[in-house]
Structure 1
Amino acid sequence: MLIILLMKEINYIIDQPLPITQDFKSLKEEGLAHIQKVNGKEWTNLNPSDPGVTILDQLCYALTELGYCNDFPIQDILTNSDDKLIVKDQFYLPEEILTTSPITTKDYIRYIVDEVNDVVNALIVPVQSNLSYVKGVYRVYLSIDTRADNPVSIAAICNTVFYRLNKRRNIGELFLIPLPLKKTVYTLSGKLEISNEVSLSKILSLMEGQINNYIFPKVIQEDDNQLVLDGEDINIIYNGPEMKHGYISDSNLGEKKDTITTRNLLTIMLSVNGVINIQNLQINGINSDFVTSTTSELITFDLSTLEIIYTNIKNNNSITSNESLSGTDIPYANMTTGVSKFPKGKFRDINSYYSIQNTFPEIYAVGENAINSNASDFQIAQSRQLKGYLTLFDQVLANQFSQLANVPQLFSFKNGITGTPSELKNFYVSKTPDEKEHLKYPVPYLSFSPTYFYQSLYTIPNIKPLLKNNEAFNFSLEPRTKIVAEEISWKKFKDDPYNSYIRGLQNLIVDETINLDRRNEMLDHLLARHGESPLFINTVIEGSVYTGNSAKDKIIIKSLYLQNLGLLSYYRFKGYNYLGAKKIEEIKLELPLDIEQLLIDVASVRFYLESEKDITISKNEKFENDFIFNTNKVDQIEKIRKQDFINYAALELQLNILLSLKTPYINYLENALNNLEEKKCAPCENTQQQTEKCPDCKKQLEQIQQCLWFLKERKGLVCIENCLLYPFDHTIAITQSIENGPYYKMKDALSYTETIALYTFLENANTIAIDTDSNTGKIVLTINTVTYELLEITQTTSINWKQAVTIASDCFFGINLENSSENSESIATITLLFPDYIPYFNTDYFKNRLDTFLENTLPIEVSYNYHFINQETLNSFIPAYMDWYNNLIYNNLAYKKTTDTATTLFNIINNIPKM
């Protein structure tokens, strides 16, 4: 009885009014009211028997179906025929858009611990000099797992961390070589009373682990899926770098404690299971009840000198063999990160349209079998007249269903290529695999980034006679029956992308001006939805050229920006990895000069610059196919990959897209090459031997070389971080006796990269010696066979001395920093360089947009300047820049070469006139 009652309570219908879009009665009443208002005097019979009312009934039923589909859950609308949610180019997952490459020191600690297994925690502090901080320069101290506690392993771990840090180094930021925290060991005395002798080793190990964890905790990583289930805010979970082994909250990072009291120790030790009491606890060798440490030191305690007292009390809380010694270890081998939970959708075939003509009573003669072979011409004419009238309603309804079915395309990051996706699908259905790969979708169905969608009505019963030029294919050289010939003709008409019906439908639906405005507004919405200011983006891209049509160019650039926003947002402030970037190639232009081939090369640059495979194209191949812009090819070419953020700063990649830097170069190259091709100046007459002697042709040729280099090697600009180049006295301190000195540094001021190169050079040297030159009396350092002059300095306590690993040397060295705050201001600067002979660049309008972008994009501590360099200066700058850039990556053991290339480039930049 109870079950029956429960069932009665569950199974009931609530009489609630339907929304008007699904309420047949309300729709019909509204339709009748409109009829009476417009034509009430002449149309007085509004009973169901009236044909007009019957038509109204059919339309209202069709509208309720449309209203029903409009109420589908959004996940159903976004689910494709494979029952998979459409996510790509629609949404960014939480781990893609909420995470970011390390920015804060806490982010970097998370990143280091996640990347390098033997690092259990880290400390990152800004370098301080003359009581002020050096902008963007950081020291890194590592807490390393005791299992890797030997000099060789520690050195390898420090080098690994240094490499990882440079992979995620932000623009204008530098990291000194990481160092292990120096352990300062204190012994404890006192009486330790425990429950039994068997547990002694476990108790001491657990006690030591908990003391060490209190002083500098081991970082704990947690499964992000479990955190979501526990109710943790997603914004907090993903606020930081993407993690491989579990996410780390602020509370699980822990901080190093530099002051430890005996009271702290007592509390920790008494909390260990199995400890009964502790008496007279003292820290040996000091006259106080606390100890302190510096930033680079880590306090540890030796418990071996404690006096142990045993009792025979049974302790139910005795330590078990599987209890964690540190109290914080958790396994993370089985953790899974970045597994987003998708809502489950159900595929709804919204685009398929069932004509209202199929549901009319048979007497109306508009259905599938309404007209038979015995019908008179008058009856056929009546049927077709009504069908023509109803087909207008069918077309409007079918287009509305298409509009709803194409919501995924409407709000996609990518620009569409057709307003009739169903026709595109039908076009390829009957094609062979080879045709599907190489046969392009024909022009009349194509349009640039449509926002209105429509579909054909070929499935409407007996529609053929109503379509213009339907008999265009009623011819054949083969003998056929009339029925077979009509079937073949009808099929050819439907398959013909140039037929009058589809072309007319497109002309009716697509208004390019309205379409471009709508698409721009939709892209602005998508930008805002992802935290990007449409006003800022519009200001920056105003004037950027891609096709020459301003409205189209904005759509293309915004679309490209959104498609790449996941990576651009994640690496927003990242600098390039000067230890792992690809090599820059030198300027090459083979002689004799082949103008025709160069024109082809420039066309290749325009359209296939970023392709992963070599593509041969003809001189006249364009981005347009019968005047339709090939948006898919643009998306492929401009796609940003993770590798790009190794070779370029994120800033360079953003500028390349938003300011469309390729186009000005390509336009200039095409004009320059055409000028060379057409020019017949005396004495050169455009022959190769004379071109080399002709100043005008030589100048033009050099500019062509430089433009190709900027395009192929540097994304249209050169960006130099001053911190990697400018001297500001990063110093390697050297001594043969840490306690007694004397202490020396290099005579010449060093840049950051020179310091790292020298540090690496010292680490890998075969012989190191400090001597006095007998002739000059100068102190010199000899590394292998290379000699450098030294200056004596006063020892700085912050130096973390390291003994050189050499065959015959007892030298010690370490990084010191003695720059002034004035110099530190100049290193937190980036310098951008453009050629001045390209008209697009050296204008106030371009400079204003560049200023707007840089002021709103760069980290607040990083300043900037930019220069527009003439051809003559570029002739010396490009080789110098290339040598310096490549030397940082491929010759980091050759300290002397690093110094020479840096000095050459520094002098060239320093002599560029200030703007």
Structure 2
Amino acid sequence: MSETNLITISRQEERPFDYAALRQKAIEIVQKLSGKIWTDYNAHDPGITILEQIVFALTEVGYKSSFDIEDYLISPDGKINYENQGMYSASRIKSLCTVTQDDYSLFFERKIVYKKEDGSYKNPEKVIFNIDDYNSWYKVIICVAEPKNDLIKNAVVESFWSLWKKWRCMGDLVCELEINWEGSFSPKVDDKNAMNWEHLPEGDYHKWNNLSPIIELFPAIYREGNNPQLLMDYLYPIEDGMRKFLRILENFPNIYSIDENVSVDLDSLDCKQYNSRPFNQMLAMYGVRFPKLGLVSEYRSICCKKQYLRELPELLCHRVGSSWRRHVELMLGILHDNEDPLKIYYTDCLFGIEGAGRVRVVFFADLEKLEKNVRDEIEKFVSSEIPAHLLPIFFWKTLDEEEGFAKLYSEWMKGKPENYKVSPEMELWFKRGLTASNGDWL
């Protein structure tokens, strides 16, 4: 039995701002509102004339709101400042996300820099990350296209450890670092067919806020007859609403801007809504949703959202150590000023193999003001942001104890991360001063 091919005729797409459709809809509304009071809906009726001119003006507003998004973001010079709009090129984002072995290799090949004897600067030819079979830590080989040189070696090693300390994923460790000199490897070949990630779309600039007065659309008898001011007063609230909408279109790049120097004065928009809703939409594009922890005011929440969008490329990979901490701080409303109700530190792999697989998160807060249910909520949130293969252990201490720990923490962070054991002073501080909130000891 042969199958029957059916042709489906779809309904024509509705055009809500089409003049004819909008006019018909407006007359239907007038009929419904007026009932038997108004029965003449022909073109010669003054009420229909007024309605038609308003509809005509609305079609212009509808036309101006139907362009591509690029046209609303573009400035008079024909450029879109993508970074001020919270949008970044794929190449910038791609170069910062270090998760896999290949990611690490490509990242360090681009970021490690050493100075040659002739004064020029160069990157290594290749960086290889291998996994040690015994403990799953990384063995790193850095290939340098130079004769063996102690100055270059020191520069490469220092550059590697500095970058690794900042960009390593939480829980990732390096147990061995080796440098291969000229002649012991095959130099890399540049890929000439590599995709150009820098292309970003542009738009066409338009002047949106140029709506003509609606009364100019009327025949001369309406404009020059007896007391045209009455008609102008009647049209004013309608026309004013249209102008406010077009002023929003004119200021569209500023509304969706994360530049602190940009200020928008739109009396048609509530200040809090203006600051909050656009940022929430921008964050939603990246799958980011701030938790409602009740810790901070709306103003500080807005500041954190704006700061998060500024630092977005660095924060996209939450597993990365220093970026993970910054990500969590902003999500909790921490801006590193005197108004912060909370301080946060983390230390992973504190005691070598014994600490592998654990992350110790230390909070300093006003424990009398920070209720237990809020602390539980914070722990729950932070747990969801820690990689699944790592076990979080939480500690809570009072704010007056933070200064001493901060000094020990700074010394630990400045040390070379090939030695993951903390200083004896920090180890003693942990044993004497901390009790885990989840009952787990060191």
Q: Normalising by the residue count of structure 1, what TM-score does the alignment of the two structures yield? A: 0.40
Distance of aligned partners of 1:30 and 1:173 in 2 relative to their CA distance in 1, 3 Å threshold? closer
- Any stretches of 5+ residues in structure 2 without a counterpart? 1-11, 114-121, 438-442
Aligned match for 2:331, one of 640, 648, 658: 658
Aligned: 1:357 with 2:103: no
* Structure 2 equivalent of residue 125 of structure 1: 130
Give the secondary structure class of the aligned counterpart of 1:133: coil
Aligned: 1:392 with 2:359: no
Give the secondary structure class of the aligned counterpart of 1:717: strand
Distance of aligned partners of 1:21 and 1:118 in 2 relative to their CA distance in 1, 3 Å threshold? closer
* Structure 2 equivalent of residue 107 of structure 1: 103
Alignment of 1:398-547 (within 5 A): 398-409=243-254, 411-412=256-257, 418=264, 420=266, 447-451=270-274, 519-520=276-277, 523-532=279-288, 534=289, 537-538=290-291, 541-546=292-297
Aligned match for 1:718, one of 325, 334, 345: 345
Distance of aligned partners of 1:26 and 1:869 in 2 relative to their CA distance in 1, 3 Å threshold? closer
Aligned match for 2:388, one of 840, 851, 860: 860
Aligned match for 1:904, one of 416, 421, 425: 425
Matched residues in 1 for 2:310 and 2:349: separation?
31
Paired residues of 1:21 and 1:64 also in contact (CA < 8 A): no
Matched residues in 2 for 1:881 and 1:399: separation?
51
Paired residues of 1:417 and 1:450 also in contact (CA < 8 A): no
* Structure 1 equivalent of residue 314 of structure 2: 567
Give the secondary structure class of the aligned counterpart of 2:363: strand
Q: Which amino acid aligns with 2:313?
A: G
Distance of aligned partners of 1:663 and 1:99 in 2 relative to their CA distance in 1, 3 Å threshold? closer
Distance of aligned partners of 1:100 and 1:400 in 2 relative to their CA distance in 1, 3 Å threshold? same
Distance of aligned partners of 1:345 and 1:182 in 2 relative to their CA distance in 1, 3 Å threshold? closer
* Structure 2 equivalent of residue 623 of structure 1: none
Matched residues in 2 for 1:97 and 1:838: separation?
38
Aligned: 1:345 with 2:341: no
**Larger Rg computed on CA atoms:** 1
Give the secondary structure class of the aligned counterpart of 1:342: coil
Give the secondary structure class of the aligned counterpart of 1:856: helix
Aligned match for 1:221, one of 178, 190, 203: 190
Aligned: 1:95 with 2:95: no
Structure 1 residues 661-699: Cα deviation after superposition (integer angstroms, max 9, x where no partner):
46996388xxxxxxxxxxxxxxxxxxxxxxxxxxxxxxx
Residue 826 (structure 1) shift: 1.3
Q: Normalising by the residue count of structure 2, what TM-score does the alignment of the two structures yield? A: 0.77
* Structure 2 equivalent of residue 832 of structure 1: 361
Structure 1 residues 332-353: Cα deviation after superposition (integer angstroms, max 9, x where no partner):
xxxxxx6x22323221111222
Q: Which amino acid aligns with 1:527?
A: L
Q: Quick one: percent identity of the two aligned structures?
A: 19
Matched residues in 2 for 1:178 and 1:555: separation?
43
Matched residues in 2 for 1:155 and 1:835: separation?
38
Paired residues of 2:254 and 2:264 also in contact (CA < 8 A): no
Alignment of 1:296-307 (within 5 A): none
Distance of aligned partners of 1:69 and 1:883 in 2 relative to their CA distance in 1, 3 Å threshold? closer
Paired residues of 2:138 and 2:176 also in contact (CA < 8 A): no
Distance of aligned partners of 1:887 and 1:360 in 2 relative to their CA distance in 1, 3 Å threshold? closer
Alignment of 1:578-593 (within 5 A): none
Structure 1 residues 339-396: Cα deviation after superposition (integer angstroms, max 9, x where no partner):
x22323221111222111122222113xxxx48xxxxxxx4xx322222112122123
Matched residues in 2 for 1:870 and 1:30: separation?
65
Q: Which amino acid aligns with 1:853?
A: F
Matched residues in 2 for 1:178 and 1:127: separation?
12
Matched residues in 2 for 1:390 and 1:659: separation?
48
- Any stretches of 5+ residues in structure 1 without a counterpart? 1-16, 184-208, 230-337, 372-378, 421-443, 452-515, 576-648, 669-714, 729-823
Matched residues in 2 for 1:529 and 1:102: separation?
21
Residue 906 (structure 1) shift: 0.8
Matched residues in 2 for 1:857 and 1:910: separation?
26
Matched residues in 2 for 1:18 and 1:154: separation?
67
* Structure 2 equivalent of residue 32 of structure 1: 27
Q: Which amino acid aligns with 2:272?
A: S
Residue 543 (structure 1) shift: 1.4
Q: Which amino acid aligns with 2:363?
A: F
Distance of aligned partners of 1:656 and 1:57 in 2 relative to their CA distance in 1, 3 Å threshold? same
Paired residues of 1:350 and 1:401 also in contact (CA < 8 A): yes
Residue 89 (structure 1) shift: 2.3
Paired residues of 1:22 and 1:67 also in contact (CA < 8 A): yes
Distance of aligned partners of 1:530 and 1:889 in 2 relative to their CA distance in 1, 3 Å threshold? closer
Matched residues in 1 for 2:254 and 2:241: separation?
20
Alignment of 1:597-636 (within 5 A): none
Matched residues in 2 for 1:845 and 1:94: separation?
40
Higher RCO structure (Cα 8 Å, ≥6 apart) = 2
Aligned: 1:138 with 2:138: yes
Distance of aligned partners of 1:413 and 1:449 in 2 relative to their CA distance in 1, 3 Å threshold? farther
Give the secondary structure class of the aligned counterpart of 2:343: coil
Distance of aligned partners of 1:523 and 1:852 in 2 relative to their CA distance in 1, 3 Å threshold? farther
Matched residues in 2 for 1:77 and 1:83: separation?
11
Q: Which amino acid aligns with 1:829?
A: R
Q: Which amino acid aligns with 2:344?
A: L
Matched residues in 1 for 2:202 and 2:252: separation?
18
Distance of aligned partners of 1:555 and 1:390 in 2 relative to their CA distance in 1, 3 Å threshold? same
Paired residues of 1:880 and 1:904 also in contact (CA < 8 A): no
Distance of aligned partners of 1:389 and 1:411 in 2 relative to their CA distance in 1, 3 Å threshold? same
Give the secondary structure class of the aligned counterpart of 2:388: coil
Matched residues in 2 for 1:148 and 1:448: separation?
62
Matched residues in 1 for 2:236 and 2:343: separation?
54
Give the secondary structure class of the aligned counterpart of 1:49: coil
Distance of aligned partners of 1:404 and 1:221 in 2 relative to their CA distance in 1, 3 Å threshold? same
Residue 410 (structure 1) shift: 5.0
Give the secondary structure class of the aligned counterpart of 2:430: helix
Matched residues in 1 for 2:412 and 2:379: separation?
31
Matched residues in 2 for 1:64 and 1:871: separation?
60
Matched residues in 2 for 1:35 and 1:836: separation?
62
Distance of aligned partners of 1:449 and 1:351 in 2 relative to their CA distance in 1, 3 Å threshold? farther
Paired residues of 1:162 and 1:175 also in contact (CA < 8 A): no
Q: Once superposed, what is the RMSD of the aligned Cα atoms?
A: 3.9
Matched residues in 2 for 1:554 and 1:883: separation?
30
Alignment of 1:743-892 (within 5 A): 824-835=353-364, 837-841=366-370, 843-870=371-398, 874=401, 878-879=403-404, 882=407, 885-886=410-411, 889=414
Paired residues of 2:304 and 2:334 also in contact (CA < 8 A): no
Distance of aligned partners of 1:393 and 1:222 in 2 relative to their CA distance in 1, 3 Å threshold? same
Matched residues in 2 for 1:169 and 1:162: separation?
10
Distance of aligned partners of 1:859 and 1:364 in 2 relative to their CA distance in 1, 3 Å threshold? same
Paired residues of 1:158 and 1:179 also in contact (CA < 8 A): no
Q: Which amino acid aligns with 2:381?
A: F
Give the secondary structure class of the aligned counterpart of 1:35: helix
